[in-house]
A = this chain, B = another copy of it.
């Protein structure tokens, strides 16, 4: 941490800042320039609130110089984390695709879709059994029955399963049926849930919150990792801006940024990132071109009658075409798919 004093800070004010730092176990380096004093403070604590120093008399600015996360940081681990589940590897040279409906609606529906996405090249089946819906009057998912149907459809097609967990009380059941547990954008800072997920042995797919900064997203990863579970995949799914035409604004630049800051895999979800079918393909291609480790895409055999999010779901043939384009783009930047 660097504390910049006001130009006209008094000697007493400077001494008080130094004393406060020492009181909180920081090593102090004082540097007095022509116009003002700058104080460097080095500590070993990951968690402190820099505003505590900002409010001291004579202080002009306080700057944190270490990231507030540690385990998720590229400083802590230089090489990329590669998450291996059966024969699928997420985080390496291959762009891995998760696809499927927004919600599991029936055994027939999920089996039809599973076969389609498998054929087109997906490795992981996605689908919701517990649905976080903005309206209490919307379809809330099939629950365990949906999970059973999805597991069965995935097994028949040699696919892995990823599905969203909404509450700590669902951990046991989710672990039973899924290969990857997904934390939705709205739960990115549901810290009790994150803590629970730190104690299980399954990979977690953590979606960036709608207004979360990249730093906060990595802090939520840190929550899971600090519990002992290091298998975290980050997912960019659009942030909220003033632009009204798209549901969210997909922050494609977060992909290279997170790859620089962290060793964790980062994938993209263009379905929620745009919210509308005909924008999904261009944004999926953009994410691959920017270097994403994978994609999560909503595909439905009958989007017009989907129980939820039909408007952003691709038809199976659109998905198959998109996979071909993405494969060429992956190759163009030295990756495979």
Report which A residues bind B (CB closer than 8 A). Answer: 2, 4, 6-8, 20, 27, 29, 31, 33-36, 38, 40, 42, 45-47, 49, 51-52, 54-55, 60-61, 63, 65, 68-69, 75, 132-138, 166-169, 186-187, 189-195, 209-211, 213-216, 219, 222-223, 226-227, 239-246, 249-257, 260-261, 273-279, 282-283, 285-291, 303-304, 308-312, 325, 328-329, 331-333
Partner of A226 from B6, B136, B282 at Cβ < 8 Å: B136
- Residues of B close to A194: CB separation below 8 A: 136
Q: Which residue of B is nearest A254, CB measured?
A: B243
Chain B nearest CB from A231 CB (Å) reads: 17
Residues of B within 8 A of A244 (CB): 213, 215, 244
Residue contact A191 to B166, C-beta cutoff 8 Å? yes
Quick one: which of B46, B190, B219, B303 contacts A190, CB cutoff 8 A? B190
Q: Which of A168, A243, A312 has the most CB of B within 10 A?
A: A243
Chain B residues in 8 Å Cβ range of A192: 166-167, 169
- Asked whether B276 lies within 8 Å of A46 as measured between CB atoms, the reply is no
Question: Which of A6, A191, A310 has the most B CB atoms < 10 Å from its CB?
Answer: A191
| Bound Cα distance from A52 to B136, whole angstroms | 19
Contacts of A223 on B, CB cut-off 8 Å? 136
What's the Cα separation between A65 and B2 when bound, in Å? Answer: 10
Cα distance, A54 to B209, chains bound together (Å): 26
In Å, the complex CA distance between A81 and B319 comes to: 29
> Could you list 15 A-B pairs, sorted by A, with CB under 8 Å?
A2-B4, A6-B75, A29-B38, A33-B40, A47-B137, A49-B311, A51-B311, A169-B192, A211-B240, A253-B282, A256-B278, A256-B282, A288-B289, A289-B329, A329-B333
Taking the closest CB of chain B, its distance from the CB of A85, in whole angstroms, is: 25
A134 touches B285 (CB 8 A): no
Given contacts A191-B133, A282-B256, A311-B54, contact A47 B138 (CB under 8 A): yes
Kindly state the separation between the CA atoms of A244 and B191 in the bound complex, as whole angstroms.
Answer: 23
How far apart are A322's CB and chain B's nearest CB, in angstroms?
10
Docked Cα-Cα span, A189 to B190, in Å, equals 10
On whether A38 and B2 interact (CB within 8 A), knowing A189-B134, A260-B278, A290-B286, the answer reads yes
Q: Are B312 and A2 in contact (CB under 8 A)?
A: no
Does the CB pair B33–A27 fall under 8 Å?
Answer: yes
Closest-CB distance, A195 to chain B (whole angstroms): 8
Residues in B neighbouring A33, C-beta threshold 8 A: 27, 29, 40, 42
Measured between beta carbons, the chain B residues less than 8 angstroms from A209 are 211
Across the A-B interface, give the 8 residue pairs with the lowest CB-CB distance, nearest first: A211-B211, A51-B311, A328-B332, A47-B137, A289-B289, A286-B286, A186-B189, A285-B289
